[in-house]
Structure 1
């Protein structure tokens, strides 16, 4: 039976909804935090806390559309700074943008790498009042940061099986606003879809896969049309309370390092080009695949391995920033999360090796036809 690796998490039917007990958090060292429905709502919640003079935001070019939307919803004009092939922010872009006196600067720890220290220092030298908002979704379970932001956001539903859930953190003082959970289509559709996926994994009925994929698609469509900022559902919060974060971090480290050792570097170069230590927790195993990215993504999917692209860029960024466009066009995110074993990682590596063998065979046939 074909195994499946990647795509959405699933929720086992025996997961409970216990709301008692101590809150299982990693952000206790910060002044205050709120759990939101989604990452974009965590950004929106923080923007509601910021006192602005010009409503100008400074954002990196390697960014997904959903992260851009909260700024647009709040009436911000956007200034961009580019990055190089190693995800280092372009300091000259930042210097130019600082002339517009932005109110807030968003930085992102792409794939767990902290490359923003120089950019933040430069921005803070220009203005002590500039608010630094750090998206730590990819680095949330790392042990340390290289600079101190004013606020942090992280989408937690990308890390484990939650129907909804993100966190907004105030690093220096308390939030003024509160959040409430209200029933919503996004939460219900995703919760049901994740249960259906669990059933599908157990019995492989194709109709179940069609159903849960339809629900997931409808959930994403619903949140695109919903501009509310909601709190996390009690069900998702109860799952966070029961999570074994230490196990999750250990499994992700082990799986990443297995892939690092096994995946043929002639196919794609790892973006995080080092072994993961006990101080870090990988979000995924990202690689750059020139020329063959779409073909290998399709090949892996045919063999039950689903690798997303992080991220398709906003049109104005894609057309004007070549390096970010290159990264978006050639990056592939290989799953290495806690759902999977060493055998699963070896299966991924063997499947990629099989793709290389097929490509070499096709090249040989072409060369033979011309000889």
Structure 2
């Protein structure tokens, strides 16, 4: 059982090569590795040439995805995401008719497919009409989800793994992105320091090291957040990326999700909106909707006192003025439980037992 659950990754490998390749790693696709998903969005929004610079985004998203579009003088509008993390095809269609965007961004959440067959048919219609479709596959990167009517795929690689930096821009056609600066060597240096300190904390349980590794992660995130240029992914990160055992990672995440969801389903003030119906999904977190925002904040604080860190993904961007009510419910109530490959059944039972003992 781990001394702490959640927060930043620290375990990584520098083994040579891996057997399993993801679908977009084939020669069929062109790939540009950058330092972050934000960098990839920055690159593509400046690469696209469109007379009408308007993009339609899912209302539930990380603000770092849409911010480069604002910075590049694109007009950004939003379509609703249902509170079970799916897209309603009819609502999306109405938003497309109203906005008439040049670009449509789609995304699946927490490893589960957000789009049904009706949505996929709508995407094909959009593409036939010349609308450029971009899919953020960050949260579904290890799931067997592939939406064909997509022009560009984007992912941040740091959400699933201990990797210093990393984002990727993918297309079936060659992508000519200009002015990509060399990867920043300070990023892997700071990352290795942060990983080493956190590993030492886990091994020694020395609380004095805790503030040290937290400060190191702050520096690392600041380096990655620098956005004045497009930067290539560092060589160290590429080597780590090519060493991951995706089969093991997928198995552990599925097992942990199932174990924890079975327990948390008994808690009446928590709603679990997505469950497994097959083994094609590899979850990022176990997202729940807490009964209300006040309860969510109190539960999150209580768990943190027990060294269980459950993030709120995400806080609503101030750019979204009129957020659809179904999507607002996510922002106001979501809490995410860690279920990743660092943990096992004992850790999941520890989370459930801690939640169960909390006096609401």
TM-score normalised per structure 2: 0.89
Kindly indicate whether the alpha-carbon contact (under 8 Å) linking 1:57 and 1:78 is maintained by their aligned counterparts in 2: yes
- CA gap 1:208/1:258 in 2 versus in 1, 3 angstroms: same
Instruction: State the shift of 1:289 in Å.
Output: 0.7
Spell out, residue by residue over 1:201-259, the C-alpha distance to the aligned partner (whole angstroms, 9 max, x if none): 11233332212212222333344443211111111111111111100001111111111
Spell out, residue by residue over 1:116-146, the C-alpha distance to the aligned partner (whole angstroms, 9 max, x if none): 3544543543553111111111111112325
Kindly indicate whether the alpha-carbon contact (under 8 Å) linking 2:56 and 2:79 is maintained by their aligned counterparts in 1: yes
Alpha-carbon distance between aligned partners in 1 of 2:120 and 2:102, rounded to the nearest angstrom: 13
Instruction: State the shift of 1:7 in Å.
Output: 0.6
Instruction: State the shift of 1:51 in Å.
Output: 2.1
Kindly indicate whether the alpha-carbon contact (under 8 Å) linking 1:257 and 1:276 is maintained by their aligned counterparts in 2: no
Instruction: State the shift of 1:189 in Å.
Output: 3.0
Which residue in 1 is equivalent to 2:100? Answer: 101
Which residue in 1 is equivalent to 2:297? Answer: 294
- CA gap 1:256/1:72 in 2 versus in 1, 3 angstroms: same
TM-score normalised per structure 1: 0.86
Which residue in 2 is equivalent to 1:271? Answer: 273
Kindly indicate whether the alpha-carbon contact (under 8 Å) linking 1:163 and 1:194 is maintained by their aligned counterparts in 2: no
Structure 1: runs of 5 or more not aligned = 360-371
Kindly indicate whether the alpha-carbon contact (under 8 Å) linking 1:58 and 1:102 is maintained by their aligned counterparts in 2: yes
Listed as ranges, the matches of 1:138-153 within 5 Å are 138-153=139-154
Which residue in 2 is equivalent to 1:71? Answer: 69
- CA gap 1:318/1:283 in 2 versus in 1, 3 angstroms: farther
Q: Give the secondary structure class of the aligned counterpart of 1:182.
A: coil
Q: Give the secondary structure class of the aligned counterpart of 2:335.
A: strand
Spell out, residue by residue over 1:29-74, the C-alpha distance to the aligned partner (whole angstroms, 9 max, x if none): 4421122111111222222432222211111111121111121222
- CA gap 1:222/1:192 in 2 versus in 1, 3 angstroms: same
Which residue in 1 is equivalent to 2:38? Answer: 40
Instruction: State the shift of 1:22 in Å.
Output: 6.8
Residue 208 (1) aligns with residue 209 (2): yes
Spell out, residue by residue over 1:76-102, the C-alpha distance to the aligned partner (whole angstroms, 9 max, x if none): 111111122223335346434444432
Q: Select the structure of larger CA radius of gyration.
A: 1
Kindly indicate whether the alpha-carbon contact (under 8 Å) linking 2:156 and 2:166 is maintained by their aligned counterparts in 1: yes
Kindly indicate whether the alpha-carbon contact (under 8 Å) linking 1:124 and 1:130 is maintained by their aligned counterparts in 2: no
Which residue in 2 is equivalent to 1:232? Answer: 233
Which residue in 1 is equivalent to 2:338? Answer: 335
- CA gap 1:186/1:239 in 2 versus in 1, 3 angstroms: closer
Instruction: State the shift of 1:300 in Å.
Output: 1.1
Which residue in 2 is equivalent to 1:183? Answer: 184
Paired residues in the alignment total: 351
Which residue in 2 is equivalent to 1:113? Answer: 112
Kindly indicate whether the alpha-carbon contact (under 8 Å) linking 1:2 and 1:304 is maintained by their aligned counterparts in 2: no
Kindly indicate whether the alpha-carbon contact (under 8 Å) linking 1:140 and 1:154 is maintained by their aligned counterparts in 2: yes
Instruction: State the shift of 1:325 in Å.
Output: 2.2
- CA gap 1:23/1:240 in 2 versus in 1, 3 angstroms: farther
Which residue in 2 is equivalent to 1:258? Answer: 259
Structure 2: runs of 5 or more not aligned = none
Alpha-carbon distance between aligned partners in 2 of 1:317 and 1:100, rounded to the nearest angstrom: 15
Aligned-residue Cα RMSD (Å) equals 2.4
Alpha-carbon distance between aligned partners in 1 of 2:19 and 2:129, rounded to the nearest angstrom: 34
Which residue in 2 is equivalent to 1:309? Answer: 312
Q: Give the secondary structure class of the aligned counterpart of 1:315.
A: coil
